[in-house]
Each structure stands twice: as C-alpha cells, then as structure tokens.
Amino acid sequence: MKKIKDAIYLVKKGDSLNSIAKKYNVNSTKILIDNNCTPKMIKEGMVLFIKN
C-alpha cells in the first residue's frame, strides 16, 4: 500500500485509532505519540496530525 504524505485528519463518528492508522498506513502508536494523546482521548471532532 502506498503511504500518504503528512495529513491533518478530523476524527469522524465511528472512527477508531486502528481504522485511521490503517487508512494512512501508519502505526497507531505513532499517531498517539505524534499527537501527544492516549487511545481514550480519540473522540469525534478531534484533529489528528498524521506524519509519515
């Protein structure tokens, strides 16, 4: 799968950390570290920075 360049992602209803990571082909732990958050903090409407 091709990696997508760095992105800003708005979390939508029904999203999970794993589904977002899979969409951008990145590790879910990397998303948490890059956004200084925990899995419980991922909520609808949150903006995540996806760095590749």
pLDDT, residue 4, reads 63
> Which residue in this structure is represented by tokens 């570290």?
33
What pLDDT score does 2 carry?
A: 60
Q: How far is CA 11 from CA 2, 20, 24, in A?
A: 21, 8, 13
User: How does pLDDT run along the chain (52 residues), one tens digit per residue?
Assistant: 565 678 999 999 999 999 999 999 999 999 999 999 999 999 999 999 999 8
Q: Record the pTM.
A: 0.85
Expressed in angstroms, the distance from the first to the final Cα of the chain is: 13
The strand ranges marked E within the chain are 7-10, 47-50
Domain ranges of the chain: 7-50
* Residues 7-50, CATH architecture: Roll (3.10)
